Amino acid sequence: MNVLIIYAHPNPRSFNQAILETVDATLRERGHATRIHDLYQMQFRAVLDGEDLLRNWRDDWTPDTRREQDAVQWAQGLVLIYPIWWFGPPAILKGWIDRVFTRKFAFDFGPDGMKGLLTHERALILNTLGGDEATYQQERWDELLARPIAEGVLGACGVRNVVHRAFYQVPSVTHAERQAMLEEVRALAAVF
């Protein structure tokens, strides 16, 4: 399977980087072809501006948007790796979605409303957080994590098999706990 990995973390020594390397290595070991799009390294322009909107309605995407859409079309599977900041993805990832998942590419409108156009077999979303899982569950904040991207973006655009996993307290866990998290990442990627 061709798998596009969208990575959004500005620190190349972060735990997210370790997750990225684990996912990529595991997928390749299983015979998948991977492409990594590191949005910060690419310096992806994340602001959807007025010209982008006009071009979207004319199906005349900018070259950088078209390149990203070509990469999405190349893939049969998607992996998104990013930290949760204020209950959402980093702005660069949100901007990537705004600029790449355009009308007539990722979705369209018809007589029955919005229809997803993506045909990917599956997607995997991996998040890191600083907070503890018990608090997220008690406050029902955990419900805010997966739904916006898993259902509101990928599901609405046609991707039906989406797996989400959040890793909590990443800044404060032990080395052994981080290694256990990476083993879980490896297991999730192995069944991709």
Domain ranges for the chain, please list them. 2-190
The answer to whether residue 2 scores a pLDDT higher than 90 is yes
What pLDDT is stored for residue 57 in this prediction?
Answer: 85
Spatial contact of 79 and 36, defined as CB atoms under 8 Å apart = no
Spatial contact of 55 and 100, defined as CB atoms under 8 Å apart = no
CATH code of the domain made up of 2-190: 3.40.50.360
Q: Give me the helices (H) in the chain, please.
A: 15-29, 39-42, 50-57, 63-74, 91-100, 133-138, 143-146, 175-190
The answer to whether residue 131 scores a pLDDT higher than 90 is yes
Q: What is the pTM of this model?
A: 0.95
First to last CA, the chain: 9
State the pLDDT confidence band at 64, using cuts at 50, 70 and 90: very high
* Mean of pLDDT values over 136-144: 89
φ and ψ at residue 51, rounded to 5 degrees: -65, -40
Spatial contact of 9 and 80, defined as CB atoms under 8 Å apart = no
Strands 162-167 and 122-128: parallel
What pLDDT is stored for residue 143 in this prediction?
Answer: 83
State the pLDDT confidence band at 145, using cuts at 50, 70 and 90: confident
How many residues would you count in the chain? 192
Residue where the block lists tokens 């419900």? 143
Q: Nearest to residue 68, comparing CAs of 41, 34, 102, 91?
A: 102
The DSSP call for residue 101 is: S
* Mean of pLDDT values over 94-112: 95
